[in-house]
């Protein structure tokens, strides 16, 4: 093994793994880090990689020759080949001053690989004071029931054809939230169902795709979804109805849990906190 258990485990403040994103705390093992290192050269997808549903080849891989692994900190750089390229350095440490060393490494590797962006991702524990960045949240389907919320929400394909046709302009309006990409996958038939909320015979909000797959330790996980509501109809509780419908779908289709990432202080963050999700920690990303 490349990673020493006694060096890595103590600095894993939040359950996030390079190229994979958030994982369940029970799956946050040294072995999962070994897995992402192993496929760095081949650019293959790990069987439990949530991104394998979108592509045949992994776009982001670990730069294994540039990993820094020491008793007090571990730096794991990745290269994402999408667009003009991005280098990220994941900085795992007990102390915050590791960010400076990580930034220096990110800048150097961005120059070597001629990428447009260089970033440092610093995982922080759930007890962090006044955190910034992204919160990792856990929905545990075994802890409580997730009843159907009712209201004007159902799978898009269950709505009349005239309503389904309004999804395209809705997706275009919410392009910044990834809905155009989602619509492309829907038309190609490569993803699970999408739940849509409808007012006055038009789609005004959606969440999906709804898919359950096993994680690194074999437990069924509800995969992350795209989630958006038109600004003009916000404040009516439609986002909460959509989210609860998604949780009901996940629970009734055998998911044990879902992990979500929300911007600290943002609307989705507030919704998840109000719904009783468990905060697992944070990631603070800075551009170099």
Question: Which CATH number covers residue 235?
Answer: 3.40.630.30
The mean-pLDDT minimum among 36-50, 164-178, 202-216 falls in 36-50
Residue 277: inside a domain, yes or no? Answer: no
Residue 116 in this model has a pLDDT that exceeds 90: yes
Of the candidates 68, 97, 130, which is a domain's last residue? 130
Half-sphere exposure of 109 (CA within 13 A, CB side): 29
Residue 163: inside a domain, yes or no? Answer: yes
Residue 251: inside a domain, yes or no? Answer: yes
In this structure, the answer to whether residues 234 and 201 fall within a common structural domain is yes
Residue 279: inside a domain, yes or no? Answer: no
- Which residues, other chains included, contact 274 with Cβ-Cβ below 8 Å and sequence gap of 6+? none
In this structure, the answer to whether residues 106 and 147 fall within a common structural domain is no
Residue 96 in this model has a pLDDT that exceeds 80: no
Of the candidates 130, 158, 184, which is a domain's last residue? 130
In this structure, the answer to whether residues 122 and 175 fall within a common structural domain is no
d(CA 283, CA 285): 6
Q: Residue 55's pLDDT is what?
A: 85
Confirm if 138 and 23 have CB atoms less than 8 A apart: no
Q: Residue 233's pLDDT is what?
A: 95
Tokens of 226: 């795209």
* ∠ Cα 33 35 36 (to 5°): 70
Residue 268 in this model has a pLDDT that exceeds 90: no
| Mean pLDDT score of the chain | 95
In this structure, the answer to whether residues 152 and 241 fall within a common structural domain is yes
Range of the structural domain that residue 189 is part of: 143-255
Of the candidates 86, 159, 158, 92, which has an alpha carbon nearest to the alpha carbon of residue 117? 86
Q: Residue 137's pLDDT is what?
A: 96
In this structure, the answer to whether residues 43 and 112 fall within a common structural domain is yes
In this structure, the answer to whether residues 93 and 190 fall within a common structural domain is no
Q: Which long-range contacts (CB under 8 A, 24 or more apart) does 265-271 make?
A: 267/234, 267/239, 268/227, 269/135, 271/239, 271/240, 271/243
In this structure, the answer to whether residues 150 and 216 fall within a common structural domain is yes
Q: With H, G, I as helix, E, B as strand and everything else as coil, classify residue 195.
A: strand
In this structure, the answer to whether residues 32 and 118 fall within a common structural domain is yes
Residue 117: inside a domain, yes or no? Answer: yes
Residue 275: inside a domain, yes or no? Answer: no
Residue 271: inside a domain, yes or no? Answer: no
Which sign, positive or negative, has the C-alpha torsion 54, 110, 285, 45?
positive
Mean pLDDT, rounded, for 33-53: 92
Tokens of 104: 């220096």
Residue 43 in this model has a pLDDT that exceeds 90: no
Tens digits of per-residue pLDDT, 187-203? 999 899 999 999 999 99
Residue 64: is it exposed, middle or buried by C-beta count within 10 angstroms (0-12/13-18/19+)?
A: middle
Tens digits of per-residue pLDDT, 132-150? 899 999 999 999 999 999 9
Is pTM beyond 0.85 here? yes
Q: Quote the crossing angle between the two packed helices 238-252 and 267-274, to the nearest 10°.
A: 60
Tokens of 248: 């009901």
What is the tally of structural domains in the chain?
Answer: 2
Mean pLDDT, rounded, for 68-94: 95
Q: Residue 155's pLDDT is what?
A: 97
Residue 277 in this model has a pLDDT that exceeds 90: yes
Residue 131 in this model has a pLDDT that exceeds 90: no
Residue 11: inside a domain, yes or no? Answer: yes
In this structure, the answer to whether residues 112 and 152 fall within a common structural domain is no
């Amino acid at each position: 093994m490349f990673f020493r258990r006694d060096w890595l485990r103590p600095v894993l403040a939040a359950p996030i793994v390079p190229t994979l994103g958030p994982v369940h705390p029970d799956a946050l093992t040294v072995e999962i880090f070994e897995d992402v290192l192993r496929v760095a050269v081949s650019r293959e997808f790990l069987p439990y990689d949530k991104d394998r549903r979108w592509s045949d080849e992994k776009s982001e891989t670990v730069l294994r020759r540039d990993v820094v692994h020491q008793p007090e900190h571990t730096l794991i750089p990745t290269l994402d080949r999408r667009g003009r390229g991005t280098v990220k350095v994941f900085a795992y440490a007990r102390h915050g001053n590791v960010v400076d060393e990580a930034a220096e490494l990110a800048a150097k590797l961005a120059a070597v690989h001629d990428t447009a962006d260089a970033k440092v991702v610093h995982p922080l524990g759930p007890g962090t004071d006044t955190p910034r960045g992204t919160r990792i949240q856990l929905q545990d389907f075994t802890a409580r029931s997730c009843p159907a919320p009712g209201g004007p929400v159902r799978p898009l394909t269950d709505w009349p054809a005239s309503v389904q046709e309004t999804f395209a302009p809705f997706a275009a309006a919410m392009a910044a939230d990834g809905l155009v990409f989602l619509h492309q996958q829907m038309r190609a038939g490569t993803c699970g169902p999408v739940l849509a909320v409808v007012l006055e015979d038009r789609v005004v909000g959606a969440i999906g795709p709804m898919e359950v797959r096993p994680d690194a330790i074999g437990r069924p996980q509800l995969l992350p979804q795209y989630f958006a509501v038109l600004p003009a109809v916000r404040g009516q509780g439609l986002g909460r109805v959509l989210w609860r419908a998604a949780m009901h779908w996940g629970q009734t289709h055998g998911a044990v849990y879902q992990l979500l990432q929300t911007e600290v202080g943002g609307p989705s963050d507030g919704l998840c906190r109000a719904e009783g999700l468990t905060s697992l920690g944070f990631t603070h990303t800075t551009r170099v």
